[in-house]
Amino acid sequence: MHDRYDAIVLGLGGMGSAAAAHIALRGKRVLGLEQFTPAHDRGSSHGASRIIRQAYFEDPAYVPLLLRAYELWQELERTSDEPLYLRTGGLMVGRMDSALVQGSLRSAREHGLEHELLSATDIARRFPATAPRDNEVAVYEKPAGILFPEACVRAYLKAAGAVGADLRFETPVQKWQASDNGVDVTLTSGERVTGNSLVVCAGAWLPQMAAELALPLRVERNVVHWFQPRSNPELFTPDKLPVYILDRGQRFMLYGFPDVEFAGIKAAFHHSEIFASPEEMKRTVAPDEVDAVRDALAQWLPRGAGQHLASSVCMYTLTPDLHFVIGKHPAHANVIIAGGFSGHGFKFCSVVGETIADLVVEGESFNTIELFSPTRFGALT
């Protein structure tokens, strides 16, 4: 005989830790299962920093979710032992006709978000570390900033544990089965656990953990790098340099962060088009990968691209349209799928956790998730 839980959460990374906390905070008995250790560096939610912003170039439909995400992060931070968010402002830089600038303006205008459109001269004057080109502009938004992902995950795990969630680490799930009566989860140890519902937040492992859905997901290798500024370190502190995304019409956009506590400035390309399963993912970083980012960085932050300090490999789980997958499993209403966050999901963990709790506890959510339907690719219906 074993215990039956109200909800089992498979994966306690960014989304799963938030889901476990939000469900447990509604008085439900939660079991969280994670194959690695708390806030580990083998998935998609590590590397010290994540950009959070509101004037969302990807689609204005994300803005209401972002506004709610900000509120929920603030709520969580009140119970956290460590800071979760640092406001730096954010610069979306490119030519006036770039998708980045146009998309950011569209979201800002449609949702009445406070923002400024800066000329190249304005950018260089206000943020002296930067070297914008004459034909570049930037959408500047003040609430943009940095989330500290490991601290966010730890805070959600703490919140879940504080209300009695049973969180098990180094406990890989082998398979699950659902019926109208509940879900049956088998661990690789052979142990079986049961629950009324299951939440699958398996990140880059979603293709294996929801294989029957045949979601068209691809796991992309993405590497971030830290550099020591070459000179004038005072220009790179979070009060002087906002987070930024830079579209210079090259293959991949460059994005980056100011120097938080003199750990170096972090920069990376958004996307790589190098795909592999998590098991086959190359974890070492070649010198030419560092050089490519340093060269791009030197064109934008000329005094920034100094000595290479560190690199870290991370995974994006991409959908074909780069929108998320959040919703009920089409064949099992008691199974919730949350994945395919396509390299821009972390800022949403808080609101995704709330949405999943709505779906588990109420059966529906006030947060708008139509864009994210698991069946939109014509998969199993």
Ligand X SMILES: Cc1cc2nc3c(=O)[nH]c(=O)nc-3n(C[C@H](O)[C@H](O)[C@H](O)COP(=O)(O)OP(=O)(O)OC[C@H]3O[C@@H](n4cnc5c(N)ncnc54)[C@H](O)[C@@H]3O)c2cc1C
What residues make contact with ligand X under the rule CB under 6 A? 10-16, 33-36, 43-45, 47, 50-51, 172-173, 201-203, 205, 209, 222, 224, 268, 314-316, 339, 341, 343-347
CA 3 to CA 107: how far, in whole Å? 47
- State which residue, 96 or 214, has the beta carbon closest to ligand X: 214
Q: Least Å distance between CB 196 and ligand X? A: 19
Closest distance to ligand X from the beta carbon of 317 (Å): 7
Cβ nearer to ligand X, comparing 56 with 236 = 56
Tokens of 128: 């002296």
User: Please, are residues 50 and 149 in contact by the beta-carbon 8 Å criterion?
Assistant: yes
Tokens of 377: 């690719």
The residue with tokens 């396509």 is: 342
Tell which residue, 202, 293, 309, has the closest CA to residue 250: 293
Torsion of CA 8, 279, 252, 119, to 10 degrees: 40
Which CB, 38 or 128, lies closer to ligand X? 38
- Cα diameter, the chain: 71
* Min separation Cβ 101 and ligand X, Å: 18
Give residue 211's region: left, alpha or beta (phi > 0; psi -120 to 50).
Answer: alpha
Shortest approach of ligand X to residue 347 CB, angstroms? 4
Q: How far is the CB of 229 from ligand X (least distance, A)?
A: 21
Nearer to ligand X, 96 or 309 (CB): 309
Q: Which is nearer to ligand X, 203 or 327 (CB)?
A: 203
Size of the chain, expressed as the number of residues it contains: 381
What are the structure tokens assigned to 367, written together?
A: 């947060």
CB of residue 202 to ligand X, shortest distance in Å: 4
Closer CB to ligand X, residue 94 or residue 353? 353
Instruction: Taking the CA atoms of 370, 50, 162 and 15 in sequence, report the sign of the dihedral they define.
Output: positive
Beta bridge partners of 334: none
Which of 124, 308 has the CB closer to ligand X? 308
Min dist CB 27 to ligand X, Å, is: 24
Q: What does the DSSP assignment read for 179-240?
A: ETTEEEEEETTS-EEEEEEEEE--GGGHHHHTGGG----EEEEEEEEEE--SS-GGGGSTTT
